[in-house]
Amino acid sequence: MKESLIQARLEKLKGLREKGIDPYPARFSRSHTIGEVSAHFSFLKEGEQSGEQVTVAGRLVALRRMGRASFLDLRDGSGKIQVHASAGRLGEERYQELCSSDIGDFIGVRGDVFRTKMGELTVEVAEWSLLSKALRPLPEKWHGLKDIELRYRHRSLDLVANQAVREAFVRRSRMVSAMHRFLDARGFLEVETPMMQPIAGGATARPFVTHHNALDIDLYLRVAPELYLKRLVIGGLERVYELGKSFRNEGVSTEHNPEFTILEIYEAYSDYEGMMSLVEELVVTSAQAAVGSTRITYQENEIDLSPPWQRIGLVQAVEEATGLSLDGVTESDIRKQARKKGIELPEFSHGKLIEHLFERFVEPGLIQPTIVKDYPMDISPLAKRKQGTEGLVERFELFIGGVEIANAFTELNDPIDQRARFEDQERLREAGDDEAQRMDEDFLFALEHGMPPTGGIGIGIDRLAMLFTDSPSIRDVILFPTLRAREVRR
């Protein structure tokens, strides 16, 4: 029974306290991290003594007792090292105390560095101290923690037990910091805009609602930072970005988590063509930082991220994939053609139909990086009309590995057109589309004072992290994915 495992450790804890040993001391000074010791003493040959002492600390992850001498493995954030302890060196009592440590305890040791006859770099313990007593056993040392529900609910254990998980989150962090450096170096200003908004705008999605007690108003968790970032461009902050959480009140899947991380970038005097080049460079730079290469493997597919990426028109791509002819054709024409080909279509409006056909027939095949451009206007209420076309806007989405990674526009800066687009969205809402965007008078007020020609892009950070870590599920790149609440384990 688990209680007895904990009980045994509580007994040990009591025994330590009775001996005057603090099982949770406040601090411990180490001379080196374990990684530093490994690097510094790499020259030692088999059986060779360095004659130098180090003080290291870490979690006890293995204990191999052989009577009056033992080998222990300690792990810290930089690596793992073997420690040798003997009763002869430590004295009987301290040796026995060390050997009665449990896997999972944090321990600090001081001692000489040497290499064993078998070639393992080892610290010979001259002195040691307990730094933190673990009361619960760690997951099994060899198989680790596999139960996917336990891994998500108890990520700390997942990280302790599974090295690949630690590495994935390190990669994600490297990717994000490379993005900051990239944008900072190009003169983009990092800003923070409200996550709680009176109107959740900037994307087609259902929001979470919350309530501010003192003001007695409902606020929405943002579905995108877009409309606030554009206000900044209007105000003269010509290059801005925000990298942070947004929230969409939708189902959970391998590609969706209710809270997710998005990078939005706005650049005055750029446009969607400019954003295409920007995202190519940004993805290459962050791939180099995270993976060390622009060639990656994602779910058995070899992907070459080096630019230039293929650029295709949305409508043409759908026409080629389906054999339908869509250019300048009405919704009922599309339905008529589809029926002839035996393609069933849901009750969507014109733009949504094309998007639906795209998602069904084109998107899964977009393994190599592909920019899909020129979207129907009715599903893109914040993007500028494309000159010389009927009902298309300057918008593109980026697909890699069959997954949507980014969405970008030449931003709509005509306030009269923007108002008309919001009105269209309101009509859709009244017709029952609860994902339709809201009329945002405050945003229009700002826009009516003039926004320069601007390009903007939103990049799904979690999705990109999936690609860079070869993860099949978004939950593998989110430290604490959203799960249904469950009774706390005792």
Q: Is the peptide bond before 346 cis (omega within 30 degrees of 0)?
A: no
| Residue 8 CB contacts under 8 Å (≥ 6 apart), including other chains | none
Whichever of 18 and 390 has its CB closer to RNA, that residue is 18
Whichever of 154 and 186 has its CB closer to RNA, that residue is 154
CB of 452 to RNA, least distance (A): 40
Cα-Cα-Cα-Cα torsion 451, 457, 458, 462, nearest 10 degrees, comes to -150
CB of 356 to RNA, least distance (A): 9
Whichever of 152 and 409 has its CB closer to RNA, that residue is 152
Whichever of 255 and 333 has its CB closer to RNA, that residue is 255
CB of 275 to RNA, least distance (A): 29
CB of 96 to RNA, least distance (A): 10
CB-based contact 415:447 (threshold 8 Å): yes
Distance CA 337, CA 97 (A): 80
Whichever of 152 and 188 has its CB closer to RNA, that residue is 152
How many CA atoms, within 13 angstroms, populate the side-chain half-sphere of residue 243?
A: 17
CB of 225 to RNA, least distance (A): 25
CB of 18 to RNA, least distance (A): 16
Whichever of 47 and 292 has its CB closer to RNA, that residue is 47
CA distances from 381 to 223, 330, 377, 421, 450 (A): 15, 19, 7, 5, 18
CB of 244 to RNA, least distance (A): 23
Write out the residues near RNA by the rule CB under 7 A.
1-2, 4-5, 8, 12, 47, 62-69, 71, 73, 82, 86-88, 100, 102-103, 114, 116-120, 122, 136-137, 139-150, 152, 251-254, 346, 360, 472-473, 475, 481, 483-484, 486
Angle between helical axes of 350-361 and 314-322 (0-180°, round to 10): 60
- DSSP string spanning 246-305? EE--S--BTTB-SEEEEEEEEEET--HHHHHHHHHHHHHHHHHHHTSSSEEEETTEEEE-
CB-based contact 188:265 (threshold 8 Å): yes
CB of 423 to RNA, least distance (A): 28
| Residue 35 CB contacts under 8 Å (≥ 6 apart), including other chains | 76, 78, 79
Whichever of 90 and 324 has its CB closer to RNA, that residue is 90
Whichever of 79 and 198 has its CB closer to RNA, that residue is 79
